[in-house]
Amino acid sequence: MRIVAAVANGAGVPFAIESVELAAPQRDEVVVRIEATGLCHTDLSVCDGSIPVPKFPCVLGHEGAGIVVERGTHVTNVAEGDHVVISFSACGDCAPCQAGRPASCDRFFSLNFSGRRTDGTSTLYRGDEAINGCFLGQSSFATHALVRGRDVVPVPRDLPLHVLAPLGCGVQTGAGAVLNYLRPQPGASLVVFGAGAVGLSAVLAARIAQCSPIIIVDFNSNRLGLGTEFGATHALNASEGPVVKRIRELTTGGVRFAVEASGSPTAVASAIECCRGSGAVALLGAPDFRASVTVPMRALSTGATIRWVMEGDSVPQTFIPQLIDLYRSGAFPFDRMIRCYDLTQINQAAADCRSGATIKAVLSMAHMRA
């Protein structure tokens, strides 16, 4: 079918709104009419060339939300007309998937970053040219996306899809790192580096987990202010002096849990340095794959656990409904981070995210059907 997509044609090149062809669904796939898609930092990292996959040209976008309009013969978990949020893709068959850890799927890379289906076929064509799709199992910077049925999460119809879209990656990454991986006891100290959508979602989750103190670190005073409104007890502007020293003072020697959500090598080092022995550091920020991190050896001798946590260690089919329940209860007001744009304004949205003016941009496709 003919669809409209924002195509990324090269590193540093603006998105181009183009008409492309979406392949027919295979038996385990659905076609989702995308209503809205969040813009996540990983999309920008691919555009900047700091994450070198998939190859250009490609269609990015991995926080899609929409309505199922067609399904393959083997799809049974959703039907036409269902509202869905699309999350990352996992195979369902490997040992980690079987153990209930789809974010650690053995085939995570090929399913989410290869640009093709696992059988090598493309889902998107520009004329006779196959272009890369399947980004995080969806490529949802488009009016429609082809998704494996097992990677969509049915959601209630009474909530707006432009609000629910960021649950598919950024929000579940930040909240899941705290609620699924770190699992702090009430009263445990926790610091979050980076007051973007991922970091602020971690702050909201830390408040739900009753952490204390909750420290947020960033350079942007507006974002730090929202962090305080979301439950941070201390907001540290990284431009105002040594961060590690101040965190140690606030936590009498070192913090129990650190969440690194900025992707900055300096912040990764600080997160490790400020953590006390027997603590844990969760690394979430999309890094520049060309960068290195330097950490003093003494910081590694404390015994703290340091782990990259993919997608908040989430099982999207259960964790996203859990986050929706928390949102309804008022405990998880992640919608306050959202600013909406039309899909055709994607380059402005990307610029606003890079500058820090917008925390979570959500692109709406509604105007393309008007």
Contact positions toward Zn ion, by CB under 5 A? 40, 42, 90-91, 94, 97, 105, 169
Dihedral pair phi/psi, residue 112, rounded to 5°: -110, -25
* CA gap 116, 40 in Å, rounded: 20
* CA gap 275, 247 in Å, rounded: 9
Residue with tokens 């022995």: 277
User: Is the Cβ of residue 94 or residue 351 nearer to Zn ion in the bound state?
Assistant: 94
Q: From the CB of 74, what's the least distance to Zn ion, in Å?
A: 18
CB-count exposure of residue 151 (10 Å: 0-12, 13-18, 19+): buried
User: Is the Cβ of residue 113 or residue 341 nearer to Zn ion in the bound state?
Assistant: 113
User: Is the Cβ of residue 22 or residue 105 nearer to Zn ion in the bound state?
Assistant: 105
Residue with tokens 């702090």: 184
Q: From the CB of 40, what's the least distance to Zn ion, in Å?
A: 3
Q: From the CB of 41, what's the least distance to Zn ion, in Å?
A: 7
Q: From the CB of 142, what's the least distance to Zn ion, in Å?
A: 16
* Helix (H), strand (E) at residue 222: helix 221-229
User: Is the Cβ of residue 65 or residue 275 nearer to Zn ion in the bound state?
Assistant: 65
Residue with tokens 């404390």: 302
The tokens describing 251, both together, are 């936590």
Q: From the CB of 204, what's the least distance to Zn ion, in Å?
A: 17
The tokens describing 297, both together, are 């050896």
Instruction: Give 368's DSSP letter.
Output: G
* CA gap 310, 96 in Å, rounded: 13
User: Is the Cβ of residue 40 or residue 365 nearer to Zn ion in the bound state?
Assistant: 40
Q: From the CB of 107, what's the least distance to Zn ion, in Å?
A: 5
* CA gap 56, 230 in Å, rounded: 38
Amino acid at 38: G
User: Is the Cβ of residue 180 or residue 189 nearer to Zn ion in the bound state?
Assistant: 180
